[in-house]
Every structure is written in structure tokens, then in C-alpha cells.
Structure 1
């Protein structure tokens, strides 16, 4: 089992293509591409933390069909500013506004928004976020896991560690 992190898909949101300079003609092409990238990355036994803005301006049937087509045995949602009632009603493993998870010695803070300070930020914890669509630089303790920052696919903890280590000069 691999643990993956992602955010900001905005499935069904045509305007996000222009707003984020995504290379798609329309939301159908974008959605299909992102589902393919997700499924080529995430295995059926893997776990995914989605840090918000799963879909926007996407009908409930289409939203449910997209969710049902995604690989992963458990998909968690950290609620974003565009995750309304229809998104929240999908069969997520959990839905939260914020969470902290411990993986061995690592302490991860998961929130939709980028933070400047957080629990144990001076003791090695790392903050993962979405919302900024690749427009905020990652730091030695914070990383944007949104699709616009990761070539439209989820990122593994090893990939995130590698990105943070390169910023640290390690």
C-alpha cells in the first residue's frame, strides 16, 4: 500500500482551465486526463488524501461517476472552499477540515490552505496543502500537493520528501 496526496482537481470546472493555464480544450478532456493520471499512479490497494476542491460546477451524477472511477481503497477528503454538499456526500473514507497524521517519525499537517505556522512546525512537522494551484513556492517545511504542482497526478510521500530535501539542499 502506498499513501498519496493530492488537491485541486476541480473536476467539471471549465473556467479553471484558463485560470490555471491548464492545457485542455474543455472540462471533459481535463477530467478524463486527470482520471487517467490518477489511475496510472494510484493502485487499488492504495490510500489517498485529497486536500480539497475535488469538483466544482460539476453535476452530482458526473461527480459520483468520476469518484467511482478512481483507484484507491480509501480516499479521504480534507474539505476545500469549493467542496459543497454534493462533494461531501460522496463515499469518502473520512471528511475533515484539518488533520494531523503520524507516519513513523514524521508528523504531517493536512489542510486545504497553506499555513505559515502549525502544530510542531519548529519540531520537524511538514504542512501539506492545496488551494494555491502551484502559485506558492514550496518551503523546507511546506508543500503544495495540488495537481497543478504535480503534473496532474497525486504525489507520494517519497516524492514530497525528495522535493523538500532539494529545497533544503540535501
Structure 2
């Protein structure tokens, strides 16, 4: 893991994308309007829904805010999740350069790795089917509050399509003309198959104006 963006990420190798599970976060159902009676019920449901569709050899790209609460226990729970799991840190992750010191990241990184996670930089960019694509916890603009937070940790909008979480929107899919929200609050608390993203990318390509 480095603080620099990863510019040649292989999106073609990814089978699923998701974000914002908040495993172990006792108040997230209240704050985000989730339909669970307790944090234990939420944790169990999200593990079940993940493992129902993700196989042991599938690659899952998680765009941050994985776990909160009693962090060792919450991150440890995620070892039950199927697949080869990649984490792009969000502001609530203990390996986030946006909110944690280098010393804290060094302390907590082994915990995530022990639970089966490969931790990536905050911004990854690469190709999917020959088209450029960016993934980050953060959208180009917008937040869950009226205050725009972590602006220096957001990707620059250069026109490249972006996958993101962070907002806890209940709307599935396009957050803007070339942004796609992948958070679990919009996807039935399960990861999204990447062929959904492929269809979105194809729609962007087909709607682009012809060049002379």
C-alpha cells in the first residue's frame, strides 16, 4: 500500500465491486435507514448476502468504509467473506490516509491483511475492456453532510468514469453523468457484479458525441 494513486490497476480481473458495509457499526442502521434490528443481525445478513453470490476465487473490489465499532472484532468478521478481497480505503477505515496517521496505518494494516484483505491506495485507475476507469471511496463532489470533506483525497474529475461509495445514497447506479455509486445501501447489501458496470460503461460510450 502506498499513498500515491495506483494508475495501472487491472479492472479486467475484478468480478464484483461494493462499498460502505460498516460492519460492526452499531448506529449505522439508524443513521442510514437500514432495515436491521441490531448490529449482529446486520453483520450476519451482509455476510450471508456476500457469500451467496461471491465464490472463493472471485475478485471483489471494496471501495471503503468496511468496518467500524470494536475494530479488531469488526475487521475479523470480514474473514468470513468469500473471494479475493481488495480494499480501497474510505475515511472510516483505520488504514485511510485521509483520517489516520502513518503510524496508525502501520499499526492497523496487519489486522486487515490477517482478515484476508489486500489494501490498495485511495485512488486506483486502470482499464476495463480497453476503457479508462477510476475507483475511489469518494465521488468527485458531494458528501453525507453539508460539508465537503476530504477534498484533497478525492480523485480529480478529468472526464474518466468513476466508481465510488461514501454517500450512502439509496439510488443504485449513476450518481452523475460519469459517476456510479456502488454502496450497499443501494444494492440490497450485497456486492455488485461487474457486468453491471460493464453495461454502464457501454452506455456512456454509446451516448458520447461522435468526433469529427
TM-score for both structures, normalised by structure 1: 0.84
Asked whether the 8 Å contact 2:50–2:190 carries over to 1, the reply is: yes
Map residues 112-123 of structure 1 onto 2, 5 A cutoff. 112-116=137-141, 118=156, 120-121=158-159
Dislocated runs of 4+, deviation >4 Å: 163-170
Q: SS at 2:112's partner residue? A: coil
Return the offset for 1:169: 9.6
* Structure 2 counterpart of 1:70: 81
Structure 2 CA distance for aligned equivalents of residues 2 and 104 of structure 1: 11
Q: Secondary structure at the match of 1:57?
A: coil
The 5 Å alignment of 1:96-115 reads 96-115=121-140
Q: Which of 184, 201, 204 matches 1:147?
A: 184
| 2:47 is aligned with 1:6 | no
State the Cα distance separating 1:93 from its structure 2 match: 2.2
Q: 2:36 aligns with which of 24, 47, 61?
A: 24
Name the count of aligned residue pairs: 165
Return 5+ residue gaps in structure 2 as ranges. Answer: 1-12, 95-104, 142-154, 208-212
2:166 maps to what in 1? 131
Residue 159 of structure 1 corresponds to 196
- In the alignment, the residues of structure 2 paired with residue 110 and residue 102 of structure 1 have an alpha-carbon distance, to the nearest angstrom, of 11
What whole-Å deviation, never above 9, does each CA across 1:34-86 have from its counterpart, x for those lacking one?
Answer: 0011111211111011100000113413421x2210000x2111111110157
The alpha-carbon deviation at position 146 of structure 1 amounts to 0.6
Between Structure 1 and Structure 2, whose CA radius of gyration is higher?
A: 2
Aligned to 2:100: none
Gap change, CA 1:10 and 1:87, over 3 Å in 2: farther
Query: Residue 149 of structure 1: CA displacement?
Result: 1.3
Q: Point out the more displaced range, 85-94 or 107-116.
A: 85-94
Q: Which residue of the partner structure matches residue 93 of structure 1?
A: 118
Q: Residue 38 and residue 103 in structure 1: after superposition, are their counterparts in 2 closer, same or farther (change >3 A)?
A: same
Once residues 134 and 164 of structure 1 are traced to their aligned partners in structure 2, the CA distance between those partners, rounded to angstroms, is: 20
**C-alpha displacement at 1:96, in angstroms?**
1.5
Root mean square deviation of aligned Cα:
2.6
Gap runs ≥5 in structure 1 = none
